[in-house]
């Protein structure tokens, strides 16, 4: 290689093409080559569930630029002067010789190509459970264009009546919605006790209730023991507990493993998580080789630990960094992830950023406080929709560690706000008087996230003694049941109520009816209302009148994930 630098990119999905394009922009005269195993390039793979679900019909929209041009090899050559070779697999990397060997998958033709800098963006492969029947016809994942084409055909043909989704994570839930929209009877099967493990159990359970309300079945805490079939075709699944469910289709979505075979065989360092090890420049253990996207591990910006974060947005950002550094030398850095994620779940959205309570405890954070808040996203008169947020903070400092939000309201905006706050290292005190865009079509006068910060502030100051619905539920089984005070109005009580032995005293009557409260001023009293604003005020009234053990059930009735009397 004389004066024209050659950048070779392995992988043509998200990170690879982004790295190649950035490399081109950084050096118009470099030679840039992409090797892509699949037939398509630069697929919007996060869009597959929506194509399957019928949100749009033109497959090419998944492959097009904003201007509507399909990103095929011709496009890459003309618009970006990038040599993109599809159906071509890189079979090995010779680091010493600065060469990759490749094979054309259709013709079998092989060859090798030298590189100045190599960028590995080999992505990840869906995990498959190591159980009998896994190769039956009718079992698929939703990870490739081919998978998407297959499931879209299932939708369009309308022949399949029953399907199971194995795995209740992001992809599983998105696929559940897509197939339910196709009129298929769905059961989601999740080995763990909850769906969407980026949420804590209490919020995940509320999401699960919503999924069930859409006539999709959910089985948690139970795995698949066997795929059942006849003549090589799937006819059902057998669960670990022996239950058999007939089905003609199974979509497996139990996570992905980084594709590190090439890197490993080339002797590159593989991290503890199983992803390719890279430094902040997205550089591997070989200075001439960068890596980006689902095949690498990255740093969790809060815990400092290495994690896998196979998200489409990060792949693009990492690709951009790798592409620039491959051309210019190490100039830009990628700071890592706070594992921000979001998922549409029928009429709900569910999102998380930073650490959940579970993740925080798992990572050794003991000194944390959580709070739940429920409110609409904008005023009722503008058609406000419910949001339920759980915030996790460090007790000693008030530093925000994580936030989760679910509901039919504008969850994305809430999570975006918290994600910015967490990345900036903000504390609760920085949010309580935040100046955010308020007008009735967009938010409450005190935005849901600010109100959440107010609750956290009250909790940190010891004013709000909150208790989660989960903890309340546990108390129902105990011997000494607390006194439950529902502070709503009689009309609301008639419409819906928990039925946990509560006493209804509307907040507006409470001060006159204190005689109906327990005589024992040390008796545990738990107050709530629909969203526990009135519950909080009721608790303050009781405390001011001498009761010493008064708590507020956070989030109120709308955050109660269990069965209700009414």
Question: Among 518, 522, 530, which Cα is nearest to 487's?
Answer: 530
x/- track of binding to a copy of itself for residues 469-508 (CB under 8 A): -------------------xx--x--------------xx
Nearer to a copy of itself, 230 or 435 (CB): 435
Hey, what's the torsion of the CAs at 336, 252, 183, 242, to 10 degrees? -130
Please answer whether residues 115 and 6 qualify as being in contact, where contact means their C-beta atoms are separated by less than 8 angstroms. Answer: yes
**Residue 558 CB, nearest distance to a copy of itself (Å)?**
11
From the list 159-167, 358-366, 373-381, 470-478, the region that binds a copy of itself by CB under 8 A is 373-381
d(CA 391, CA 398): 11
From the list 21-29, 200-208, 213-221, 268-276, the region that binds a copy of itself by CB under 8 A is 21-29
User: Which 118-147 residues touch a copy of itself, going by CB under 8 A?
Assistant: none
CA angle 382, 504, 385 (to 5 degrees): 15
Q: What secondary structure, in 3-state letters, does 276-325 show? A: ECCCCCCECCCCCEEECCCCECEEECCCCCEECCCCHHHHHHHHHHHHHH
Looking up tokens 């190490």, which residue turns up? 330
Exactly one of 290, 311, 484, 560 binds a copy of itself (CB under 8 A); that residue is 311
x/- track of binding to a copy of itself for residues 422-461 (CB under 8 A): -xxxx---x-xxxxxxxxxxxx-xxx--x---x-------
Nearer to a copy of itself, 100 or 559 (CB): 559
Hey, what's the torsion of the CAs at 351, 355, 360, 366, to 10 degrees? -110
For 305-316, letters b (16+ CB in 10 Å) and e give: ebbbbbbbebbb
Find all residues with CB under 8 Å of 161, minimum gap 6, and list them: 184, 185, 248
**Residue 255 CB, nearest distance to a copy of itself (Å)?**
17
**Residue 55 CB, nearest distance to a copy of itself (Å)?**
6
**Residue 412 CB, nearest distance to a copy of itself (Å)?**
4
**Residue 230 CB, nearest distance to a copy of itself (Å)?**
37
Exactly one of 14, 188, 234, 455 binds a copy of itself (CB under 8 A); that residue is 14
d(CA 536, CA 529): 9
Query: Hey, is 481 helix, strand or coil?
Result: coil
Please answer whether residues 134 and 226 qualify as being in contact, where contact means their C-beta atoms are separated by less than 8 angstroms. Answer: no
Q: In angstroms, how far is CA 272 from the centroid of its own chain?
A: 22
**Residue 46 CB, nearest distance to a copy of itself (Å)?**
5
**Residue 259 CB, nearest distance to a copy of itself (Å)?**
20
- Decide: is 509 part of the binding site for a copy of itself (CB under 8 A): yes
Question: Among 443, 433, 540, which Cα is nearest to 485's?
Answer: 540
x/- track of binding to a copy of itself for residues 328-347 (CB under 8 A): -----xxxxxxxxxxxx---
- Decide: is 513 part of the binding site for a copy of itself (CB under 8 A): no
User: Which 286-305 residues touch a copy of itself, going by CB under 8 A?
Assistant: 301
Exactly one of 5, 6, 39, 46 binds a copy of itself (CB under 8 A); that residue is 46
User: Which 537-556 residues touch a copy of itself, going by CB under 8 A?
Assistant: 537, 540-541, 543-545
Exactly one of 156, 288, 313, 347 binds a copy of itself (CB under 8 A); that residue is 313
End-to-end Cα distance, the chain: 75
Q: 83 pairs with which residues across the strands?
A: 33
**Residue 80 CB, nearest distance to a copy of itself (Å)?**
7
- Decide: is 397 part of the binding site for a copy of itself (CB under 8 A): no
Exactly one of 1, 4, 25, 265 binds a copy of itself (CB under 8 A); that residue is 25
Please answer whether residues 271 and 287 qualify as being in contact, where contact means their C-beta atoms are separated by less than 8 angstroms. Answer: no
From the list 32-40, 82-90, 286-294, 524-532, the region that binds a copy of itself by CB under 8 A is 524-532
Exactly one of 50, 201, 281, 365 binds a copy of itself (CB under 8 A); that residue is 50
User: Which 156-195 residues touch a copy of itself, going by CB under 8 A?
Assistant: 170, 174
- Decide: is 382 part of the binding site for a copy of itself (CB under 8 A): yes
d(CA 113, CA 496): 69
- Decide: is 29 part of the binding site for a copy of itself (CB under 8 A): yes
Exactly one of 6, 39, 44, 470 binds a copy of itself (CB under 8 A); that residue is 44
Query: Hey, is 351 helix, strand or coil?
Result: strand
Token digits of residue 561: 């994930």
User: Which 54-93 residues touch a copy of itself, going by CB under 8 A?
Assistant: 55-56, 58, 61-62, 64, 66-69, 75, 78-81
Nearer to a copy of itself, 7 or 531 (CB): 531
Q: What secondary structure, in 3-state letters, does 446-476 show? A: CCHHHHHHHHHHHHHCCCCCEECHHHHHHHH
φ, ψ for residue 179, nearest 5 deg: -75, -30
Nearer to a copy of itself, 187 or 417 (CB): 417
**Residue 246 CB, nearest distance to a copy of itself (Å)?**
32
Exactly one of 1, 412, 476, 514 binds a copy of itself (CB under 8 A); that residue is 412
CA angle 437, 459, 453 (to 5 degrees): 10
Nearer to a copy of itself, 55 or 562 (CB): 55
Q: Tell me, by CB under 8 A, how many residues bind a copy of itself.
A: 109
């Amino acid at each position: 290689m004389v004066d024209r630098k050659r950048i070779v990119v392995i992988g043509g999905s998200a990170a690879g093409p982004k790295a190649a394009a950035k490399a081109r922009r950084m050096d118009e005269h470099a030679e840039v080559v992409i090797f892509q195993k699949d037939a398509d390039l630069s697929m919007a793979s996060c869009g597959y569930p929506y194509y399957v679900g019928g949100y749009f019909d033109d497959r090419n929209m998944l492959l097009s630029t904003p201007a509507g041009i399909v990103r095929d090899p011709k496009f890459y050559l003309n618009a970006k002067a990038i040599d993109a070779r599809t159906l071509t697999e890189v079979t090995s990397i010779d680091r010493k010789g600065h060469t990759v060997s490749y094979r054309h998958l259709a013709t079998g033709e092989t060859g090798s190509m030298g590189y100045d800098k190599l960028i590995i963006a080999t992505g990840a492969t869906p995990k498959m459970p190591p159980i009998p029947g896994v190769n039956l016809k009718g079992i698929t994942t939703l990870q490739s264009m081919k998978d998407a084409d297959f499931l879209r055909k299932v939708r369009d043909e309308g022949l399949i009546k029953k399907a199971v989704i194995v795995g209740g994570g992001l992809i599983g839930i998105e696929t559940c919605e897509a197939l339910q929209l196709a009129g298929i009877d769905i059961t989601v099967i999740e080995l763990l006790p909850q769906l969407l493990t980026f949420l804590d159990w209490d919020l995940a359970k509320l999401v699960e209730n919503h999924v069930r309300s859409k006539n999709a079945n959910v089985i948690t805490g139970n795995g698949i023991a066997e795929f059942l079939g006849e003549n090589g075709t799937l006819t059902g699944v057998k669960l670990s507990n022996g239950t058999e469910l007939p089905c003609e289709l199974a979509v497996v979505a139990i996570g992905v493993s980084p594709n590190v075979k090439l890197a490993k065989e080339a002797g590159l360092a593989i991290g503890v998580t199983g992803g390719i090890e890279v430094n902040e420049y997205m550089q591997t253990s070989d200075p001439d080789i960068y890596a980006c996207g689902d095949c690498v591990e990255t740093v969790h910006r809060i815990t400092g630990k290495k994690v896998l974060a196979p998200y489409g947005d990060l792949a693009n950002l990492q690709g951009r960094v790798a592409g620039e550094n491959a051309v210019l030398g190490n100039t830009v850095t990628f700071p890592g992830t706070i594992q921000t994620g979001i998922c549409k779940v029928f009429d709900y959205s569910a999102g998380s950023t930073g650490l959940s309570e579970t993740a925080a405890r798992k990572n050794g954070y003991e000194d944390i406080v959580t709070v739940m808040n429920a409110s609409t996203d904008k005023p009722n008169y503008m058609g406000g929709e419910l949001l339920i947020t759980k915030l996790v903070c460090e007790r000693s400092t008030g530093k925000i560690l994580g936030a989760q939000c679910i509901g039919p309201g504008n969850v994305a905006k809430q999570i975006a706000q918290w994600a910015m706050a967490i990345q900036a290292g903000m504390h609760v005190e920085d949010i309580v008087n935040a100046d955010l865009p308020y007008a009735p079509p967009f938010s409450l006068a005190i935005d849901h996230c600010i109100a959440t910060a107010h609750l956290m502030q009250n909790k940190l100051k010891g004013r709000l003694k909150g208790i989660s619905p989960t903890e309340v539920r546990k108390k129902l089984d105990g011997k000494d049941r607390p006194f439950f005070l529902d502070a709503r109005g009689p009309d609301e009580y008639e419409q819906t109520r928990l039925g946990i032995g509560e006493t209804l005293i509307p907040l507006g009557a409470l001060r006159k009816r204190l005689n109906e409260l327990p005589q024992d001023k040390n008796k545990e009293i738990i107050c709530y209302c629909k969203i526990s604003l009135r519950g909080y005020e009721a608790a303050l009234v009781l405390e001011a009148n001498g009761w010493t053990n008064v708590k507020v059930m956070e989030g109120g009735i709308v955050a109660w994930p269990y069965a209700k009397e009414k």
